[in-house]
Structure 1
Amino acid sequence: MTQPAPEPTPIERWNRLLTEPGGNVLRNKLGLTDADRLRAAEYRIRAMRQGELQRGEVDIPRTSDLPHLQAIHQHLFQDVYEWAGQTRDVDLVKDGQPFVEHGWAPQWIENTGSKMRGVDWPNISREDFVRTAATAYAELNLAHPFREGNGASTKLFLQQMTEGAPYRIDYDRVEKNAWNQASMDSRVQSLQTRTVQPGQLVQVFDQIVVDREQPAAAAVDPELAKAIALQNSTYQNLGTHRSGPTAEQSAPRPQTVSLAKAPEREV
């Protein structure tokens, strides 16, 4: 009698996503095996797809749940990764802090979405909007449901979830390093508490939440300004643009995948 094949280990599952076992380049539809070229190409394509979503050219149901977030991720990264829109099946650690276990991340997102669906957005005060949005982002960031592209997907997701409010989130008003530090500080030291610490993110959101009719600000971060300019980019010269934010570099550990310390590149 044939024995069933053993379940793959976390590292085996992780290596299946890479161009080579133990490497740091994700397998991609573009056939790129160089990290810099992949980073540049993904950045340009994602900026174009992001522009389509922000201009309303793609209809994604505003359900404020996991399928909603997955649809955003799938659209942003459909040209680059076969697994676009699929949640991760490995555990991740970054800067020594774990994200939510992969098996529990979908429920974590559902819990956040449920709370957001219960908000009276048209009548919310600015103070409550700031705290609610900051806490939701902290929770979604801790869930980190995708292997790549969490920041870009979550920012758009949060913008769409709050469209009914008299305020909007203008991410271009915050410098990248300040955003990254606040995001990192919002994560819990131990997942046993199942809570986030959004204190610094609340301060950041207080800077970037504006009246919905207020004109968009010029990006304070050059890389954010570049992303805006790239929103109407075509697929030309995908492998030649070498500037842009730094990608997360990853290396497996015995039971989790560790995202090595590097600036977040999602805009």
Structure 2
Amino acid sequence: MDKYGVGQDPYCYPGTDILINKLNIKNDTSLELAERDLTEIAAESIDFSAPPYDFSLLKSLHQRLFEDIYTWAGEPRTIDISKGDTRFCVANRIVPEAQKLFRQLEVKHWLMDLPKEDLIIEIAEFCGDLNVVHPFREGNGRTLRLLCDFIVINAGFEVDWSPVDSNLWMQASIDAVICDYRKMNQVFELCIGDSLPNE
């Protein structure tokens, strides 16, 4: 079984849990390192985007982050996946569920003009719920955090993910499945900084 518990995954090389990639890397550790390096380089070339924030933007961000690694970059996954005891949204519900979350975000005016405490609560729930949708076969966290950068900056605050421990992010993501956003609140309490100066 691969790490997402789907048996022989069509996204993986036969008999392995290693994702088929443009670099033809067949070692899990090497692929993780290549992913990290290439997505960091790609992220540096992505400029801030103002609203509207929608599923098309999320797909575009994923494509730009991962297009040098995977042929399916920017495309919603076509198989159902789980990780440990966490089951993500079934594949045929990804698009409608993601679009519903983005519509809610639009109704809330992209979380603009909120005090920091309210912004933390709102973005924690949005981020937790969108992570449960888990639209892509791989790279959901990196793509989601980049989108959250845009939302937080647009709402008028600094953002820095370096204080966020990977274990906290993982537990926050797991807890969000049962709509427990306390850990995700902690994530954003750590990464949302001071108000940005008015220009």
**SS state of the match for residue 210, structure 1?**
strand
The Cα RMSD (Å) is: 2.0
Alpha-carbon shift at residue 181 of structure 1 (Å): 1.6
Alpha-carbon shift at residue 179 of structure 1 (Å): 2.0
Matched, 1:77 2:66: yes
Matched, 1:201 2:194: no
Write out per-residue CA displacement over residues 212-240 of structure 1, whole angstroms, 9 at most, x where no aligned residue: 438xxxxxxxxxxxxxxxxxxxxxxxxxx
- Asked whether the 8 Å contact 1:124–1:165 carries over to 2, the reply is yes
Query: Normalized against structure 1, the TM-score is what?
Result: 0.66
Matched, 1:18 2:6: no
- 1:66 aligns with one of 50, 55, 59: 55
Once residues 103 and 64 of structure 1 are traced to their aligned partners in structure 2, the CA distance between those partners, rounded to angstroms, is 22
- Structure 2 residue runs of 5 or longer lacking an equivalent are 1-5
**SS state of the match for residue 154, structure 2?**
coil
1:94-173 alignment, distance < 5 Å: 94-120=83-109, 121-173=111-163
**Amino acid of the structure 2 residue aligned with 1:113:** F
Write out per-residue CA displacement over residues 171-217 of structure 1, whole angstroms, 9 at most, x where no aligned residue: 112222222222222212xxxxxxx2212211332222212438xxx
Alpha-carbon shift at residue 100 of structure 1 (Å): 0.8
Query: Normalized against structure 2, the TM-score is what?
Result: 0.87
- Asked whether the 8 Å contact 2:152–2:192 carries over to 1, the reply is no
Higher Cα Rg, which structure: 1
Matched residues, percent identical? Answer: 26
Aligned in 2, Cα 1:60/1:81: closer, same or farther, shift over 3 Å? farther
- Asked whether the 8 Å contact 1:64–1:114 carries over to 2, the reply is no
* Number of the residue aligned with 2:196: 213
* Number of the residue aligned with 2:173: 183
- Structure 1 residue runs of 5 or longer lacking an equivalent are 1-9, 189-195, 215-267
Aligned in 2, Cα 1:152/1:65: closer, same or farther, shift over 3 Å? same
Matched, 1:39 2:26: no
More helix by proportion, 1 or 2? 2
* Number of the residue aligned with 2:3: none
Alpha-carbon shift at residue 39 of structure 1 (Å): 1.6
Aligned in 2, Cα 1:89/1:11: closer, same or farther, shift over 3 Å? farther
Aligned length: 191
